[in-house]
Amino acid sequence: MSETVLYEVRGPSAWITLNRPSKLNAINHELRGALADAFARAAADDDVRVVVLGANGSSFSAGYDLAEEAATAFPTADAWRTELAADVDVTMALWHLDKPTICVVRGWCLAGGLETAMAADLLVCTPDARFGEPEIRYGSGPVTLLMPYVLGQRKTRELLLTGDTIDAEEALRIGLVNAVVDPAELDAEVARLVARIAATPLPVLKLTKRALNRAYLCMGLAEAVEANLDLSAMLNAASTPEQEAFDLIVRSEGLRAALAWRDARYGEVLGALGHGAEA
């Protein structure tokens, strides 16, 4: 297992931890691959009944690693689709995991990080958590379009068209998270939730999870994700002047300068390194 993702079995649960805290757990290729391996490992272990996904450091994840993407050439929509398909695959690996999953969020949870969090069955956060999909501010969009199935149309359209972020209390109010928990109590609260779920036999948990997932598949989730992947590839290959200027600033001045330039266009600074990532 790569050091960018940690794996620990605690009784009936596997705890998977993103471990790039100095980069706000931005998802680069190494972390993406390690995360897929961790999900597969948890799925294959019959002693594991619940999977907990969290992160080290001050934030859950600021999204996909923009600096890595800016340094890589994707000359065509087809090249972009290949890259983005790998992002979709790891997110949907969590969604399809046939055991109950809990995501634990502190601090920033943005773009690809939020898509990953939304793929979990339950989401618990601390009061300092902030959520958003700011990709549109760069001329990109969420590559795994799960938000309409989590929040419904109106709030999804507001968040995706503005790129705004919301705090923990708003996330609780609109149903994005299940609970907001004091940081000192977070691990204990998640452990209690694991214990309540894990008391049920694994075959029952798996069949219940399968029934829940099939309900969403009947609503067209798989087709929507696939269609959005095609459109995301076209969107990222559009090479608008703003996209090109952003990439140039990343390469010449660094990611922080590029994010400041981007956010200044919208009259605010989100203040997270690496957010708004599928660009």
Domain ranges of the chain: 5-264
CA-CA distance, 235 to 237, in Å (whole number)? 5
- Letter string b/e over residues 180-201, b meaning 16 or more CB atoms within 10 A of that residue's CB: bbeeeebeeebeebbeebbeee
CA-CA distance, 177 to 141, in Å (whole number)? 22
For residue 273, the model assigns a pLDDT of: 42
Which stretches of the chain score pLDDT less than 70? Answer: 1-2, 268-279
Annotated catalytic residue 135? yes
**Burial group, residue 12, by CB count within 10 angstroms (0-12, 13-18, 19+):** middle
For residue 224, the model assigns a pLDDT of: 94
**Burial group, residue 255, by CB count within 10 angstroms (0-12, 13-18, 19+):** buried
Give the mean pLDDT of the chain: 90
Each residue's pLDDT tens digit, 166-176: 999 999 999 99
User: What DSSP string describes the chain?
Assistant: --TTEEEEEETTEEEEEE--GGGTT-B-HHHHHHHHHHHHHHHH-TT--EEEEEESSS-SB--B-HHHHHTS---SHHHHHHHHHHHHHHHHHHHH-SS-EEEEE-SEEETHHHHHHHTSSEEEE-TT-EEE-GGGGGT---SS--HHHHH-HHHHHHHHHH--EEEHHHHHHTTS-SEE--GGGHHHHHHHHHHHHHTS-HHHHHHHHHHHHHHHHHTTHHHHHHHHHHHHHHHHTT--HHHHHHHHHHHHH-HHHHHHHHHHTTT-----TT-S---
CA-CA distance, 197 to 12, in Å (whole number)? 10
Catalytic residue among 69, 115, 133, 278: 115
For residue 1, the model assigns a pLDDT of: 55
Each residue's pLDDT tens digit, 197-206: 999 999 999 9
For residue 268, the model assigns a pLDDT of: 56
Annotated catalytic residue 242? no
Catalytic residue among 68, 69, 133, 135: 135
Q: Provide the CATH number for the domain formed by 5-264 in this structure.
A: 3.90.226.10
